[in-house]
Amino acid sequence: PRNGLGSTGTGCSGSVWSSKTEISYSVIDQEWSAMRRAFEAWLAEDNFDSTGQQKKTLESVPKDMS
């Protein structure tokens, strides 16, 4: 997936009665630090213009930011 997380499968949510599908993703401990920095950079205020549109996509943010 574009967010760098591994898909762990799909299934129906046991606590919600609806026809929507739930998709789960996972990341291992060793990858989380870089992933967290990428998500924080992507969600930072300076990644949005004055109309609220994002400047960089999550995919374009480097995943290993030092």
pLDDT, the chain, mean: 77
**What's the pTM?**
0.59
The beta-strand segments (E) located in the chain are: 6-11, 22-26
How many beta carbons lie within 10 A of that of residue 31, not counting itself? Answer: 15
Q: So where are the chain's domains?
A: 6-60
Q: In the structure encoding, which two tokens stand for residue 30, read together?
A: 């060793």
* pLDDT tens by residue, 11-38: 544 555 566 777 777 888 898 888 899 8
pLDDT of res. 25: 77
CA distance 48 to 66: 22
Residue whose pair of structure tokens reads 């996972």 in the numeric block: 26
